[in-house]
Amino acid sequence: MRYDEYRRYDAVGLAELVARGDVHPADLLRLALERCAKVDPAINAVSLLMEKNGEELARRSDLGGPLAGVPFLLKDLGQDYAGYPTSAGTGPLRSIRAARHSTVVQRWLDAGLVIFGKTTTPEFGSKAITETRTFGATRNPWDTTRTPGGSSGGSAAAVAAGVVPMAGASDGGGSIRIPAACTGLFGLKPGRGLVPSGPDVGDPLFGAATPGVLSRSVRDTAAMFDILTQPDPGAPYTVSRPDRPFRDAVTEPPRRLRIGFTSDSPQGTAVDPEAVRAVEDAAALLESLGHTVEPATLGIDGRRLALDFMTVWTASAAAELDRTCRLTRSSPTDFDIDTQVLAAVGRALSAPELVLAHARWNDYTRALAEFHGTYDLLLTPTLAVPPLRIGQNRTPALADTVLPPFLQLGAGKVLSRTDFYRNLVTANLSAVPFTQLANITGRPAMSVPTHWTAAGLPLGTQFVGPSGSEYLLLQLAAEIETARPWFDRCPPESGIQQPIAAGVGQSV
């Protein structure tokens, strides 16, 4: 098989070729590795190359499962592979090897996927861009001066650049949908508890975070949901599953839907005209498909929601930084300055502040449920702006020198009231104000690549459904995919074969 043939198939299609004996898994892995070597110097998407592991899996005579033989990459955050480190985007964790597989990793292995590496992520997944002190900047294959988003930015870049047809991802505040929107991919965040996060984590970020994938085709994500959503007896709770396989959704058109849309930022911040056009264009497309689409409002205080989200996020950042420092005997100053700031603010929170902020998540959940009493789905931009330029949200270098001593003195409470911290939060959320609602409420949501800007950049649109609507979302996504195909729309080759900066991933 040649690379141009490899690129024409999604993961399900490649697995069918392997099952028929038309191609060997080792040949597919060779193509993925060659492609990685060719484009990764320009996009910096792979943080850990596990080439020997991939070769061993590809040679196994007992390789079986619905996706047997398909090359696959893990996200380097929360997706542990026994014997290899999970860096979480930070240097101190690169020396700590996982003792056992994460539940999702084991399920991917059982499905026959050939895992040969891990992809970059911002430190602890805490940004909507993928730029770190340890790994540098990951770049968007559509324009290497732009970000692929975060926190699953490396996975998005690798899939968009054609290294693999699908890759591991996760979403705690938009981290599947944001990269999908930046890179022209499909990304569906599962609802709370549908995909288990175990065995070492039960309900990450109070249930706001969940594993998943990024893909080029809807049917790949549907097939992956069949693999990932089996109940886990050790999970904190069990949620209902459809009475039929998710893969059936791509061949079964949805009923006619009533969809409410808005392009207004819930935080009151600016929304780029391209993002507004993306939603208006999607609304027109949906109407042409027979759905009822109309402007709607949510009745949610978006500014309050952002603060309550960040309260829980900063507390989680503080806990994660402290845990990592104990585990690796590192100092807080060994981490990115943004991580230090978030952790300092979270450490300064009182327990009542955290509990009250989390308690208000119920208010937003009730409000969204009321909206879904009238509308089947909510349609918004996924991003408020086209993909940001590399370095656009970078914290000033001076802060790296000035802030750490103050943070070590416990200045988190004071810092949380400064313009510096407010600007840091605004910079991280104003470009992506639409995605946190689905995490807080635990509802499924997807980004569909329906729009490209005048400059040729992808800019996806988001659909948020009620609890248990993953099947419906897949149905609608497949309908849109048929009406406006995106699978063969690829980044220009000239832009992703020229090295931008030396890669800093490691090989094990």
Go through the domains of the chain in sequence order and give each one's CATH number: 11-252+463-491 (3.90.1300.10)
Contact 9, 15 (CB under 8 A): no
Which tens digits make up the pLDDT trace of 52-92?
A: 999 999 999 899 999 999 999 999 999 999 999 999 999 99
pLDDT tier at 503, thresholds 50, 70, 90: very low
Strands 166-171 and 186-189: unpaired
The per-residue pLDDT for range 413-428, each reduced to its tens digit, is 777 777 767 676 766 7
Query: Distance between CA atoms of 239 and 151, rounded to whole angstroms?
Result: 26
What percentage of the chain carries pLDDT values higher than 90?
A: 87
Average pLDDT over residues 269-297: 98
- Tell the residue number behind the tokens 């597919």, with chain if given: 28
Nearest alpha-carbon partner for 53 in 88, 89, 36, 29: 29
Percent of the chain clearing pLDDT 70 (strictly above) = 95
The string of pLDDT tens digits covering residues 384-415 is 999 999 999 877 765 677 677 767 767 677 77
pLDDT value of residue 402: 67
pLDDT value, residue 10: 98
Q: Model pTM?
A: 0.96
Q: Are 468 and 240 in contact (CB under 8 A)?
A: yes
pLDDT at 409: 65
Residue 325 has pLDDT above 90, yes or no: yes
For residue 238, is pLDDT > 50?
yes
Q: Taken in order 190, 196, 200, 206, is the CA torsion positive or negative?
A: positive
Judged by DSSP in three states, 430 sits in: coil
Task: Give the chain's mean pLDDT.
Answer: 94
How far apart are alpha carbons 207 and 79 in whole angstroms? 17
Q: Which two tokens stand for residue 290?
A: 């027979």
Does residue 507 carry a pLDDT above 60? no
Q: CA–CA separation, 215 vs 487, rounded Å? A: 10
Q: Which two tokens stand for residue 45?
A: 């998407």
Please, are residues 188 and 222 in contact by the beta-carbon 8 Å criterion?
no
Q: Where are the alpha helices (DSSP H) in 44-102?
A: 51-59
The count of other CB atoms within 10 Å of the CB of residue 121 is: 34
**Residue 305 pLDDT more than 70?**
yes
The residue-averaged pLDDT of 438-465 equals 98
Asked if 85 and 98 touch (Cβ cutoff 8 Å), the reply is: yes
Q: Which of 123, 120, 103, 113 is nearest to 66 (CA)?
A: 113
**β partners of residue 506:** 48
Q: Which residues are catalytic, by number?
A: 75, 151, 175
> pLDDT category, 498, cuts 50, 70, 90?
low
SS3 119: strand
Look-up of token digits 């997944």: 125
pLDDT in tens, 114-163: 999 999 999 999 999 999 999 999 999 999 999 999 999 999 999 999 99
Under 8 Å between Cβ of 271 and 384? yes
